[in-house]
Amino acid sequence: MKDKHKKRERVNDEIRIPQVRLIDENGNSLGIVNTQEALNIANNRELDLVEISPNAKPPVCKIVDYGKYNYEKQKKEKQAKKQQFVMQVKEIRFNPNTDKHDLEFKAKHLRHFLLEGHKIKISVIFRGRMITHAEFGEKLMSEVISKLDDVGKLESSPKMEGKQLIVYMTPDKNKIKALKEKQRSESTQQNL
């Protein structure tokens, strides 16, 4: 509750500085004026005097409808928060001898992660002497990549790191959008 109180800008009589730099409702600068005079101008126009930049010398105040100003500000903050998406890296590990069913199951999960907008890490882990037959792991990796090609794109080609064959994939927004459009059109055709 205190955080909201701190963020709120000072309005009308809460402004106790002797002089302010005044901006009218159209964005025109009216110069440096006494605070009381600025309040009178705002009251005559049936608007509020809001302190926009308290740290400036002198502080910048604007004549606005505070309710509308506050609503617009909250709307912008909400929009900015909505656009912030933290991309997580989801990892699924394979063994070079992974069975067909397990491969399908894990590929389905990887597809789901890509559709949700997450970056994925595909690892094929070689244990013991399996490293001598790296071609099995490479074959498995290419099979997994081909299953996810319609929703993701490779960041780089698969590479060996120690006893692991690793590749990163990111969601391809254009491919995902096209896939969703195709699914939507198919579902509407089935409904007819």
Rg of the chain taking only CA atoms, in angstroms = 29
pLDDT class of 168 with cuts at 50, 70, 90: very high
For residue 57, pLDDT beyond 90: no
Tell me the CA end-to-end span of the chain in Å, nearest whole number.
Answer: 53
Say how many C-beta atoms besides its own lie within 10 A of residue 62's C-beta: 22
In this chain, the answer to whether the domains covering 7-68 and 89-183 adopt an identical fold is no
The ranges assigned to domains in the chain are 7-68, 89-183
Tokens of 32: 């440096």
pLDDT class of 7 with cuts at 50, 70, 90: low
Contact, 135 vs 109, CB < 8 A?
no
Question: How far is Cα 173 from Cα 177, in angstroms, rounded to an integer?
Answer: 6
What CATH class does 7-68 carry?
alpha beta
Give me the residue label for tokens 């894990």.
Answer: 106
Tokens of 62: 């604007």
Q: What is the DSSP letter of 86?
A: -
Select the CATH number that applies to the domain covering 89-183 from these four: 3.30.110.10, 3.40.50.300, 1.20.1250.20, 3.30.420.40.
3.30.110.10
Q: Tell me the per-residue pLDDT of 75-112, one tens digit each, with 9 for 90 and over.
A: 988 888 877 766 788 999 999 888 999 999 999 999 99
% of the chain beyond a pLDDT of 70: 94
